[in-house]
Structure 1
Amino acid sequence: MAKSPESGRTRPRAADGGGWAGLYEATPDHNALIGRSAEVVNFLYATGFSGHGLLQAPAAGEIVRDLCLDRTPPVDVAPLAADRFPHRRRDPARVAHRVRREYSAAHGSRRR
């Protein structure tokens, strides 16, 4: 942890001595997922903002608040529901193979 010179507050420090990292999540259509799960009771989601989450957080927060309180959100979030994508089951062996292939492509095919 390092102290920010501007505020004096503690902030995380990357292993290389500086920088910041965050999750860059994206959906197939590059639109966020906001809504209530139809499969899991009381599971609300707001994710997949493709790097724009910080800018959209105030509006997403109001929407999730309204969903949590069983209110109607100020905008229709039905087009942002997770079920707009066909449900696909992922074969763990295929996923592992793809991850190994992508890792090898990025880091070379050296073995330890």
Structure 2
Amino acid sequence: MDLRVQSTLGYEHIVLLGLLKKGHLEPDRKIGTGIRAFQIRFHPQFKSRCFFVIREDGSVDDFSFRKCVDHILPLPENMQVKHDANKALARGGKGGGRGRGRGGKPRN
């Protein structure tokens, strides 16, 4: 089995579908034509493992398990997922200036 892609089975499928229906801000758009499977895959943009829906029509989309849970049962503010967190992760932590730890020759 390819460790980069894991499909959910039976009970897990039911739980994830319920979570998506109750916790996602736009469940109808995310579910689309119906969900054939859920998978855990490596997301190339965010460099982490993420949940993906595989729809009946073969289309694929990612979703945030944690954001769905937060919508149903909000966490304390200091533990919540920031809505712009994906934007920060997409840059890969590459800042534009000479920050700490950058190394190189010091300027005189």
Is TM-score (shorter-chain normalized) higher than 0.5?
no
Higher relative contact order (CA closer than 8 Å, sequence separation 6+): 2
Return the TM-score normalized by structure 2.
Answer: 0.21
Return the TM-score normalized by structure 1.
Answer: 0.20
